[in-house]
Structures are given as C-alpha cells and as structure tokens.
Structure 1
Amino acid sequence: MNNRILLGLDNGNKCIKTSEGYISEAGFIKSNNEPISTSNLLIYEGKFYSIGSSRLSVQMDKTVNQDAFILSLPAIADVINKVGVEGDVDVILGVGLPIVNYGTLKKKFREYFLRRDIKFNFNKKDYAINIVDCRTYPQGYSALITVFNSYRNLLCNVIDIGGYTIDFFKVENGIIDVSSCYSLPNGIITLIANIQQELLKTNIRLTETQIQEIITGKEPVLFEADIKEVIKVMSEEYVENLLAKIQEYGFEFRNPTIFTGGGSMTLKTYIEESSKIKYVDFLDQFANAKGYKILLEQELRR
C-alpha cells in the first residue's frame, strides 16, 4: 500500500502556498535543456522548469493549460520531504477557487488535478506520485475556518486580497451570506503594476519584489525618499479606494473585518491606519491553504 499525504494547496496568481508552509512565486522558466542554475529545478516529461524565477500571466481558469499542475509538483515534493516518506505516494489535495467562480469551476478544477503515475525530479530528487483525490473549497471562507470559533456567533466581513482578485463577503453565525459575495479584478498585482508605471515616468525601474518590500516597510536598497513617498501615497490611495468600494456594496466596517491573502499581509500597515476600519484581524498568507486542509480532513472523516 502506498504512503498517503493530505495537502492544502493555494494556487494563487502571485504565489503558490501550502498548508505546510511552502511558498513560491507563481511562475517558471521552461527549457528543453538543463539550465546553468539547478536551484529549484523541476524535471517533468523531459522538460526543465526553473520554478519561481518568473511570475506567469494571470489565468482565471487555471485548467486551460498545465501551468498550475506544474507549479503544484514542487509543493507536493516539499510536503513529501517534510513528512519523510519514501517510494510511491498517494496524494489527496484540497484546493480553492474564488467564491464567485466556485460553482462554475469547482468540478472542472477538481478533475484537472486527478492523475496517476506522475514521475518527476525536483532539486535532484526523484518522486513518484498519484493524485488520487482532490476536493475544491471556496477561498476566503476557507481561511476563516482557521479561526472559526472566534467568529462563529458574529456577523463579520471577510476580505481576501490576492494577487489578481479581491474577494469579499459577509459571514453570520458561521454561514456565508451568498448574496454578499463579490470579486474585484484589482488585487495587489495591479497596485504594483501601477506603481511601476508611475516610476517609469521618471525612468526608474523597480521589480515587483522591490516594490513589495518597500510597501511592507523593508529597505531592499537605498532608494531616494521621493521614490518611497510615491509608493507610500499610491498604497494609501489603493487601500482607501478599495475600502470605499467595498462600503458601496453595503459592508459595515463597525463589524469585525477579517483580512486574508498575501495582498492583505503586504498592505497590513495601511489597512490598520485607515480610519474606515474599526476592528480588524489579519490571517497569514497560508490561511487559505490551511483551511483547505482542515476542510479536506473533515470531509474525509464523514
């Protein structure tokens, strides 16, 4: 009998994350020949993939190509190593979709991952796996599951700021208000792109990582104060405009508001400083993936 592993996998547009703490940029460079650097190198079906070296373009329906599957393999390798199992491994995945797409893509996304006899090499180690089952769960709500007992008797807002989308909805007494589920196509990637365009006007070229580090208060390099000020002002405007837009959908920020997603963590300081928010809680960027695994374990026990 093969070893069995359960894994929560968050296929974000910006990063791939797992319930076990793995994180990687959602991208790769594909080559027919072995590249000079073998760090984070995946070999699958005779092709070489340098994982995390270049973010791929946003794909709302991830079943249209093999990119999401390719990016899942290093994440699965990571958990196999952490658990320490050898030989063939049966993998059961918990994955997620934005709430607004959940009903239409749930079945398709589940079937996308179901495969057997998958053989690959990652970081010079061979793996043989079967993805024997996959269950799909709603993003945002899955993150809330990780702190469910704290909010089970309250009316609260959940805002998931991801790479490309911002999903938000209300939960009352632990149940999603399905009439309050919305999604906006202007996640953290759009803010970063707008900052890059603004800086290009003065012939300044910063990477996504550099901008993200400045937003979070880190100092990647010694940039002039005016560059940091541009990023600060644009980040403040982004947060204020986002909160105002969410209020237009009938959300009351006197109720507890739970922020999740990598974008929320990046913008945490600006969200906390906003006068619009009264009570705020932040779940880390792994919360969705952890929630997928919790829901997966509960479902398999039934």
Structure 2
Amino acid sequence: MVDNLIKNNNHESEDFDMTKIRDYNMNGTIILGVDAGYGNYKTARCCFPTSVSRSDQPPIFTRNFLEYDGGYYTIGEGYKDFVAEKSMDDDNYILTLAAIAKELKARELSTAKIHLAVGLPLKWVQAQRDSFREYMLQNRQVDYKYAGKHYAVDIVDCTVMPKCYAAIAENLPDFKGMHMIADIGNGTMNVMILNNGKASESKSWTVKLGANECFMAIRNLILDRKAEEVPAEIIENYLRYGDTKVGEEYQQLMEEAAKPYVDKIFAELKAHGYNPNLMKLYVMGGGCSVGEADC
C-alpha cells in the first residue's frame, strides 16, 4: 500500500520489516503499547475502531462490550468525532481498557501488572503529556469484564511517547542520510525529518490532515452528485482496499474525491521540505492505503 502511494506520485519509498511481534517485560511488569488513534485503537495484536456506546443494560447482539463501573460499553461500532485533547474525553479510558483486555486475552492472561506506553501526535506531546499520563493513571487497580471475561489489572505507570517517532525509534541506526517520515492517521498527519537518524523539534510537525478528510471528501462528493448518503463502511473499505465491489460510477466518484487528498498530502510534505532528490520518504499509518486509489 505504501509503495502504491509513493509510486503513483512518482516518488520512491523503502520498507522496513516491522511485522515481528516482541513482548517486553520488566520485573514482572508488562510494557504494553496502546496507540490511542482518532480512528482506531491499536496494540501489537489488535486493531479496532475508536467508538464507544454506553448503556445501563448489556447489549443484545454482541459480546464485544466492556462492563465497568456499573455501565456497559459497546466497543468498535462506528467512529467518534475528533477531540484534540484526549484527556478531556472519557471514552479514551474505556477504549484503553478494551485494548488491554484484547492484548491480555491474546496472551492468555486475565491478571497483569502493566506499564502503559501510549502515543500522542508528534507536536502535541509537550503540551498534553502530563495531563494524558494522569488521565491514564486515574485508577491504579482496575477490575472489569470484557467479552464476558473478568480482568484484574494493576496499571503501575504510563509513558507518553510522540507518534511517528515511536514507530521508528528502534530502527534509527538504519536511517543514514536525510529521511522524511510521514505517519498518516485518521485525524492527523505527523511529519518529521531525520538527519542520520537524529530528529529535532524544529523539523517535526503535526498537521490536521488525516484520512478522515479524504473520507469526508468522498462522502460529500457522492452526496452532491447523486443525492445519496453512502454507508460509511463502503467508503472505509474503499480507503482500505481500493475496491469495494460497487458500481463503476460510484467507484469513479470515490477516486475523483481521493486524488485531491493525496495531492494535498504531497503538497504539505513539500511545504515542510520534502525533496525526492535529497531525501527518502517513508509513509506509514492507516492513511497510507489511500494510494490504492491510483492517484
């Protein structure tokens, strides 16, 4: 997917193999990474939409709910609105508990001591780090149920890391020369330039140019041209896979709306110093799959 995005804009890319899952423990404490994205929550072993719906009774049609503090929270059906200050949104805590449960289930655990490692947009970390860390540590001992299974978790500490940089931190020795890294999420795009593996604050940016902008462009174009509201799942499948098995006219409209978004991405990268003759470009994150649109 990354190759398509770069190739279709006459640029070059280079891939690292980051598919191997490694578990980290320190003195009996699991170091557990949770990417609290605006579109999806991710751990090493799971990915699910950022959505929470609370009720006073358990849902009827799904077991994919979290029972906590007297409420029942259905997880991952739909998406949330963009909220820049994550610690001001109680849903992020519920989503983090769900992510912990999913990760522990994959490890066949129901109790654990956990050191959370969470991320914030690259340039927002400095302003939001302390409040987000306190938010994540609001309850050091948490008992809850997820998908019918009980979990007892001790959250002993939390480290807040900058997105984009955290994704390539272990590979920094491999970045010889000049490189630009672009992490395209649902709400933001984080960009940084590395010089021989070294980053600097003056060469890092967070731009509100996430894949949700492309989603809305597709939705609005079809609404304008066809006077129809396309189901969100169809647009999401197009952004993920490039082909949703819909009629040709709708496929063409989605491509028409997606192309300007990819052009805008590269215009933004060039505005921040990208020159394909001077540096290599690495694109990561869910938004990079927009390249499947043959832009």
The alignment's TM-score, normalised by the length of structure 2, stands at 0.84
The alpha-carbon deviation at position 144 of structure 1 amounts to 1.6
**1:245–1:116 distance in 2 versus 1, CA, 3 Å:** closer
Q: Partners in 2 of 1:13 and 1:150 — Cα distance?
A: 29
For 1:10, the equivalent position in structure 2 comes to: 35
Matching residue's letter, 2:102: D
CA displacement at 1:182 relative to structure 2: 1.7
Q: Which residue of 1 aligns with 2:156?
A: 132
- Alpha-carbon distance in 2 for matches of 1:31, 1:3: 36
Give SS of 2:134's match: helix
For 1:265-288, what per-residue CA distance to the aligned partner results, in whole angstroms no more than 9, with x for missing partners?
x22335xx67xxxxxxxxxxxxxx
Provide the rounded CA distance (Å) in 1 between the counterparts of 2:171 and 2:211: 24
Question: CA shift at 1:218, angstroms?
Answer: 5.0
The answer (yes or no) to whether the contact 1:215–1:231 under 8 Å persists in 2 is no
Distance 2:201 2:29 in 1: 35
Partner secondary structure for residue 62 of structure 2: coil
Moved more, 240-249 or 20-29: 240-249
Q: Secondary structure at the match of 2:77?
A: strand
1:20-59 Cα shifts (integer Å, max 9, x gaps): 2211100021111111123211111110111001211111
CA distance in 2: counterparts of 1:268 and 1:141, whole angstroms: 22
**Structural mapping, 1:1-302, within 5 Å:** 4-18=29-43, 20-86=44-110, 88-114=111-137, 115-151=139-175, 153-201=176-224, 202-220=226-244, 222-254=245-277, 255-264=279-288, 266-269=289-292
Amino acid at match of 1:175: K
- For residue 121 of structure 1, report the CA deviation from its aligned partner: 0.5
**Which consecutive unaligned segments of at least 5 residues does structure 1 have?**
275-302
Q: Secondary structure at the match of 2:157?
A: strand
> What is the one-letter code of the residue matched to 1:97?
L
CA distance in 1, matches of 2:52, 2:163: 24
After TM superposition, give the deviation of residue 216 of structure 1 in Å. Answer: 4.0
Secondary structure in 2 matching 1:236: helix
- What is the aligned length? 266
Partners in 2 of 1:21 and 1:172 — Cα distance? 31
Could you tell me which amino acid in structure 2 is paired with residue 126 of structure 1? Answer: H
Q: How far did residue 203 of structure 1 move? A: 2.3
Ranges of 4+ aligned residues in structure 1 off by more than 6 Å: none
Amino acid at match of 1:85: L
CA RMSD of aligned residues (A): 1.9
Contact 1:3 1:85 in 2 (8 A): no
Distance 1:268 1:21, change over 3 A: farther
* CA 117–245 in structure 1, closer or farther in 2 if over 3 Å, else same: closer
CA distance in 2, matches of 1:224, 1:83: 42
- What SS does structure 1 have at the residue aligned with 2:76? strand
Q: What are the ranges of 5 or more consecutive residues in structure 2 without an aligned counterpart?
A: 1-26
Q: Which moved more, 1:3-12 or 1:121-130?
A: 3-12
Write the letter of the residue equivalent to 1:105: Q
Structure 1 Cα separation of the partners of residues 95 and 242 of structure 2: 28
C-alpha distance in 2, partners of 1:159/1:219?
Answer: 24
The CA distance in 2 between the partners of 1:119 and 1:217, in whole Å, is 38
